[in-house]
Amino acid sequence: MTTASIRLGDDAPNFTAQTTQGPVDFYQWKAGKWAILFSHPKDFTPVCTTELGRVAGLKPEFEKRNCKVMGLSVDPLDSHKRWEQDIADVTGNAVNFPMIADADHKVSDLYGMIHPNANDTQTVRSVFVVGPDNKVKLTLTYPASTGRNFEEILRVIDSLQLTSSYSVSTPADWKPGEEVIIANTISDEDAKKRFPKGFVAKKPYLRVTPQPNL
Ligand code: BEZ
């Protein structure tokens, strides 16, 4: 039974692993950048094929956000390597990030990526966004039957990066460029100085301002 439970704000556990791009030490590989570690259930499966091609196609978007990406499944390295050709054939995108071959479940157990009541041998679709400080900033868990929305993951990274630099949060369905919410720890007087574009108080506890870094 897997007991790992990784929560927001925890240190992302470091590990060493064999990947399609050679052996990695996770902390050394991410080297102070943002990182996404995501698992998929199984090689040569349809949803996973579309997901990995999509992530490969989004590489410029991850790079713009100073973010590296690493995939994982419990299949062996030779299987990952053979599957990469199919992913390129189907999606038009060559896989351009390392995929961990976690046949011994070392990393998937460390991160709680196997949910035995869903499937006791395959990883679920987990996502961990890890900050430059190696702390976990986001966790997501999807079932095998549902491919993830990687635009949403980019959107969350945009929010995480913005809210780590300014005293703001982002509202429901926020997209980059839209107004943001001023933290309630900031007084109106201070908000006038920090947010020179001004703000609107919809309620005393809900003050919105244009995105401050634009
Ligand atoms: C898929 O990627 O399509 C898939 C993987 C494992 C179980 C079910 C579907």
Cα(98) to centroid of ligand 1, in Å? 20
Closest ligand 1 atom number to CA of residue 50: 2
pLDDT means over runs of 10, the chain (214 residues): 79 98 98 98 98 98 98 98 98 98 97 96 97 98 98 98 98 98 98 98 98 96
48 is catalytic: yes
Structure pTM? 0.96
Ligand 1 site-directed mutation target among 38, 47, 120, most atoms within 8 Å of CB: 47
Q: In this predicted model, what pLDDT tens digit does every residue of 61-93 receive, in sequence order?
A: 999 999 999 999 999 999 999 999 999 999 999
Residue 92 — left, alpha, or beta (φ > 0 → left; ψ -120 to 50 → alpha)? left
